[in-house]
Amino acid sequence: MQRKRFYYLIELQYLGFRYHGWQKQPDVNTVERMLDRTLAYVLKDRKFKVIAAGRTDAKVSVNQTFVELFLEKEPIDTQAFFEELNYNLPPDIRALSVKETNKDFNIIQSPKSKEYCYFFAYGKKIHPFAAPFMAYIREDLNIEIMQRAAKLFVGEHDFKAYAFRRTPNTITTGKIEACELIKNSMYQANFFPETSYVLKIKGAGFKRHQIRLMMGILIDLGRGDIDLDFVEQTLNPKEDIRLEHIAPASGLVLQNVTLEN
């Protein structure tokens, strides 16, 4: 007799500063590990598994993502489950919604668009309380030239220079739908610096560390270590450039994930 399985989509957000990323790892605290423990408590003896729409690295935060929950035995009351899940999750992880889906939905194969934001400030040292939310750059930055460079990333490019530890089999081409560097008005707190900035990037998918490498080259450009021509060279498929400046993780936020199905 075939076992009955039920499918749910959990909309989730979390502050990543104290976690070693999303994926479960031995002997370290991760978001997936914390979610699994909470689900095991809430669901009692029911068998389950979860698959996320994507992974994040250590200290990277998420404003919105999705997790698919596969549940054996019997269905759940989504509203009661939603309330109990949030009651038992730690304060830095929150479920935004729980909806029933079906076996035809596949969170990995479902077309999706992701928007990332990288928050940073420079010059005067920021308040320590702001450290989980934005990166701090000691040197002065030329924001105007960084803004010009950010626009170069828009469109279809070979991002092999931004592919961390690429191999001959790594697919490095991709398309960025939008990329802009603007003053931060998205998140505010009285301990934030008077002026901070955000790099907003939207696309269908990104390689590991790709956005932090993009932010790293913008920081190098803003400090005057490189020029705009070099940024253009990194997008030339004929060049063999391997970038090494990975910007700090704590400034990066997965802002939202859009599922088309």
- The question of whether 57 is a catalytic residue gets the answer yes
To the question of whether residue 116 is assigned a binding role by annotation, the answer is yes
What is the C-alpha separation between 222 and 230, in angstroms, rounded? 13
Among the listed residues 27, 36, 45, 57, the single catalytic one is 57
Point out the annotated binding site: 116
Which residue numbers are catalytic? 57
Would you list which residues are annotated within the binding site for substrate? 116
